[in-house]
Amino acid sequence: MSDQAKVFPTAERARPRRVVIAGASGLIGTALTARLRSSGGEVRQLVRGTARAPAEWSWDPANGKIDVAALVGTEAVVNLAGANIGAGRWTAARKTLLRQSRIDATRTLVEAIARMTEKPAVLLNASAVGYYGDRGAEVLDETSASGRGFLAEVCEAWETEARRAEPLGVRVVLARFAMVLAPSGGALAKLRPLFQLGLGGRLGRGEQWMSWVTLGDAVRAVEHALADPQMNGPMNVAAPVPVTNAEFTRALAAALHRPAVFPVPRPVLRVALGEMADAMLLASTRAMPGRLRASGFGFEQPQLDGALAQVLERSH
């Protein structure tokens, strides 16, 4: 059966009705909040700083501070919080923030859950396919070992922290997101202007594998995992047809009706972006959604061409 043919047994399962989201203001969190609310769910949002709406609860993850009342009565906790990985050059200070913001947020949530008498059934914690590191053409699923490098180490530490909720009797899902393609924000927002000017091109030799997923499918995958009591541990949130960077470049240029004739050599990327270039743009990660497919999840956009057409159409 094709992915498109078996769309979403998810929806009919026992969806959690009350969900608390950390990092709800971000790319994935905003879309997830909207989707859960549109299907009648109650979403509480943890915000750093002052709460400005009844559904917002203030927390201070850097200092381990949270009002446990924010979690009381919820069935699921979704943790998407962390300083943005692609937002700035990876200086030593930035790397400390990228790692520590994720560890602190996760630890604060797990410690709050530990203090509760009636605990949420599930903690869905973000992670990334960066867990696998730079792996050439190796096909990676959730049974694959972790890789080397900064992102892999951050993901491992982040996942270890989330797994501390397991002995508390909480189902823990580690959502290893691939590059999320969205109508606005995320990686496409950075690539698109260059491609529109006809300045897009493959990165390095373009042989590196890129795992990707549309924002719509990512959010449905999260919803699916929250509703499926059998889903636990790592879960790759990546479309079933990853592509090489050269294929991605061709597809994006074609979707925008522009040429993509300017390859960007590795040394240029390294000078421009430093270590981030190797970890995010030149690393090869061919991740497959083994757990999602085994659990009956169907991707609405399994192929890149269709995905880009949908995402770019929505951004108009």
What are the residues binding ligand NAP (CB under 6 A)?
23, 25-29, 47-48, 61, 80-85, 101, 105, 126, 128, 177, 179-180, 186-187
- Closest to 129 (Cα-Cα) out of 216, 36, 16, 242: 242
* Beta carbon nearer to ligand NAP, 41 or 186: 186
Q: How far apart are CA 144 and CA 139, in angstroms?
A: 9
* CB 140, min distance to ligand NAP, A: 14
* CB 117, min distance to ligand NAP, A: 27
* Beta carbon nearer to ligand NAP, 91 or 262: 91
* Beta carbon nearer to ligand NAP, 175 or 227: 175
* Beta carbon nearer to ligand NAP, 180 or 260: 180
Burial of 25 (0-12, 13-18, 19+ CB in 10 A): middle
* CB 139, min distance to ligand NAP, A: 19
* Beta carbon nearer to ligand NAP, 62 or 271: 62
* CB 45, min distance to ligand NAP, A: 7
Please, which residues have CB within 8 angstroms of residue 12's CB and are 6 or more apart in sequence? none
* CB 73, min distance to ligand NAP, A: 21
* CB 29, min distance to ligand NAP, A: 5
* CB 82, min distance to ligand NAP, A: 4
Report the 3 state secondary structure along the chain. Answer: CCCCCCCCHHHHCCCCCEEEEECCCCHHHHHHHHHHHHCCCEEEEEEECCCCCCCEEEEEHHHCEECHHHCCCCCEEEECCCCCCCCCCCCHHHHHHHHHHHHHHHHHHHHHHHHCCCCCCEEEEEEEHHHHCCCCCCEECCCCCCCCCHHHHHHHHHHHHHHCCHHHCCEEEEEEECEEECCCCHHHHHHHHHHHCCCCCCECCCCCEECEEEHHHHHHHHHHHHHCCCCCEEEEECCCCCEEHHHHHHHHHHHCCCCCCCCECHHHHHHHHCHHHHHHHHCCCEECCHHHHHCCCCCCCCCHHHHHHHHHHHCC
* CB 176, min distance to ligand NAP, A: 8
* CB 49, min distance to ligand NAP, A: 8
* Beta carbon nearer to ligand NAP, 56 or 138: 56
* Beta carbon nearer to ligand NAP, 126 or 304: 126
Classify strands 212-214 and 179-181 as parallel, antiparallel or unpaired.
parallel
* Beta carbon nearer to ligand NAP, 5 or 87: 87
Q: How far apart are CA 270 and CA 272, in angstroms?
A: 5
Residue with the shortest CB distance to ligand NAP: 26
* Beta carbon nearer to ligand NAP, 29 or 298: 29
